[in-house]
């Protein structure tokens, strides 16, 4: 079996970031979770989700997870040109500011930068090369900023985010980024509902995105970055909580 690149490395200041987010957003998130949720939800059907990407042999899953939240925030706001056009550059992140590059980092690193500075389109910056290089950014490139981001757990927890909170965030923001333990069984997935094979928090090593759910299956719809040849055309149906999926789920927003 081919080994896929991963690359989640938890930020040392993550607990502080979670506490700040909870202070700002906790009450609102708790109110959101009281909503009645549909049995199924799929943000792909709403035209919010772009093509599946491929991180290749670079531990940049964190980069792709964070970037996908920025893309969807713009798509949900109805600006940028839509999911097949508004495709932001992961290569810019690897090459133009301080982070773990292909050695791994955290999806919130991207969200921090996207809020403060913004990300350019791949069409402007250039193609993904699966390795950091010379920064090619110039002042003529547009940088697309988000207005805010935060953690989805209404209780301010730092483990697997509660199911109602993830559902509420997906409905509100279109997508959440999160971490998962991508063990051998996870990597070998080809279809169906993936059941838990790992429950050790120390094995969490991969950042992904969740775009919907099915209560009928008891599963999230997970969007990966290992190309469309993996799983179900680049996606996975993964049982709630399996392999600690949903750990430290995050959202991002852009106002129209």
Q: What is the per-residue pLDDT across 182-228, written as a single tens digit (0 to 9) for each?
A: 999 999 999 999 999 899 999 999 999 999 999 999 999 999 999 99
Task: Pick the catalytic residue from 75, 99, 224, 243.
Answer: 224
Give yes or no for a contact between 210 and 223, defined as CB atoms under 8 angstroms apart: yes
Distance CA 61, CA 64 (A): 5
Mean pLDDT of the chain: 97
pLDDT in tens, 134-185: 999 999 999 999 999 999 999 999 999 999 999 999 999 999 999 999 999 9
User: Average of pLDDT values for 113-119?
Assistant: 98
Residue 34 has pLDDT above 90, yes or no: no
The partner residues of 236 in beta bridges, in order of sequence, read 222
The domain defined by 14-253 carries CATH number 3.40.50.12590: no
Backbone angles phi, psi at 208, to 5 degrees: -140, -170
> Quick check: is 243 catalytic?
no
CA 101 to each of CA 12, 30, 224, 225: distance values in angstroms, whole numbers, following the listed order: 16, 35, 18, 16
Distance CA 63, CA 207 (A): 8
Determine how many CB atoms are found less than 10 A away from the CB of residue 150.
23
pTM over 0.85, yes/no: yes
Task: Pick the catalytic residue from 58, 61, 96, 102.
Answer: 61
- Cα–Cα nearest to 223, from 9, 113, 64: 64
Q: Apex CA 228: angle with CA 9 and CA 50, to 5°?
A: 80
Task: Pick the catalytic residue from 58, 102, 206, 243.
Answer: 206
Domain ranges, ordered by start, for the chain: 14-253
């Amino acid at each position: 079996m081919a080994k896929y690149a991963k690359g989640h490395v938890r930020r040392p200041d993550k607990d502080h970031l979670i506490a700040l987010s909870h202070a700002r957003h906790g009450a609102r998130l708790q109110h959101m979770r009281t909503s009645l949720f549909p049995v199924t939800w799929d943000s792909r059907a709403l035209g919010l989700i772009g093509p599946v990407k491929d991180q290749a042999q670079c531990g940049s899953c964190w980069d792709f997870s964070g970037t996908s939240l920025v893309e969807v925030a713009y798509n949900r706001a109805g600006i940028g040109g839509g999911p097949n056009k508004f495709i932001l550059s992961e290569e810019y992140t690897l090459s133009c500011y301080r982070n773990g590059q292909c050695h791994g980092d955290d999806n919130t690193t991207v969200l921090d930068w996207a809020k403060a500075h913004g990300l350019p389109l791949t069409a402007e910056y250039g193609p993904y090369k699966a390795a950091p290089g010379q920064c090619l950014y110039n002042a003529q490139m547009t940088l697309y900023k988000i207005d805010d981001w935060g953690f989805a757990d209404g209780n301010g927890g730092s483990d697997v985010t509660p199911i109602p909170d993830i559902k509420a965030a997906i409905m509100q923001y279109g997508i959440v980024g999160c971490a998962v333990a991508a063990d051998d069984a996870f990597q070998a997935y080809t279809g169906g509902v993936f059941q838990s094979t790992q429950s050790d928090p120390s094995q969490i090593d991969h950042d992904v995105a969740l775009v919907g759910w099915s209560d009928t299956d008891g599963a999230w719809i997970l969007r990966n970055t290992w190309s469309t040849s993996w799983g179900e055309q680049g996606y996975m149906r993964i049982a709630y909580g399996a392999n600690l999926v949903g750990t430290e789920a995050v959202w991002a927003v852009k106002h129209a």
